[in-house]
Amino acid sequence: FWLKPSWVAAQHCWRKRLGLRGPMTEQKDDGDKPKEARKSGYTYWKREIPDADVLPDNKPQKIEGAAATEVDAPTKQPSVGAIWNTAGTWEEKDMSVAARAELEKIFCEESFFLIRGDGTEIRVARATVTGDSQAYSIRGRPRLGFEFRVRLHWKGTFEGAEASGELEIKDLDSSDLDGFEVCPTGKEQHSRASDTLKRDCRSQVKEATEELSRRLLQS
């Protein structure tokens, strides 16, 4: 379009006052062009404000070392509670087969003694465990419950003499580990060993069940 003479004269006057030289050029409308700042990403607004330098840097940072290991490592889940049960509600899992086999193994380990003292060492030669066991997850905390019947064949030395026999626990219940009864049997000459087993091996049996819970719930 053509500028009117009066408008051109006014433009020359203002340019002279402002100390501008050179011919006037027509200002083109760049409304259709994206602003330069927008080319640098969605945070263009951050660099256009006067105090942008005080804002924290939001550039992606590479995680290295221990921090990266912690992020990449999967969260360990309890062996009893299911992954979906994030609310930690009641949950149970049958552990009968595994619990029976593991308790028999614990009884027969070389480090396990029914009684041990001066001239006395009695171990389990063979163990048979029957019954049921369940693992419970209550509010995210695992528990092992069981009702077992245990039969142990024992042998060793009692007061320096060879001895052997059997003992039975009919009601080894996780809800009453102080209330079970030990019923030993043996040859007539080993009656003193049987009586001592009945009186003193209860704490060892209880420790065996505690070891059973540790192994099954932490595996």
| Residue with token string 């019923």 | 183
The pLDDT assigned to 1 comes to: 47
Tens of pLDDT along the chain (219 residues) come to 444 555 556 666 656 655 556 555 555 555 555 554 444 555 555 555 565 565 566 667 777 666 556 555 544 444 555 544 555 566 788 999 999 999 999 999 999 999 999 899 999 999 999 999 999 887 778 899 999 999 999 999 999 999 999 999 999 999 999 999 999 876 655 788 888 999 999 999 999 999 999 999 886
- The pLDDT of residue 153 is 95
Q: Would you state the pLDDT for residue 122? A: 95
Nearest Cα neighbor of 125 from 114, 136, 135 is 114
- pLDDT of the residue at 105: 97
Question: With helix as H, strand as E and coil as C, how does 115-154 read?
Answer: EEECCEEEEEEEEEEEEEEEEEEECCEEEEEEEEEEEEEE
Rg from Cα positions in the chain: 42
- With 0-12 / 13-18 / 19 or more C-beta atoms within 10 angstroms meaning exposed / middle / buried, residue 135 is buried
CB-based contact 166:186 (threshold 8 Å): yes
DSSP per-residue letters across 12-34: HHHHHHTT--S---PPPP-TTSP
- Backbone phi, then psi, for 101, in 5-degree steps? -65, -40
pTM over 0.75: no
Placement of tokens 């009884």 in the chain: 107
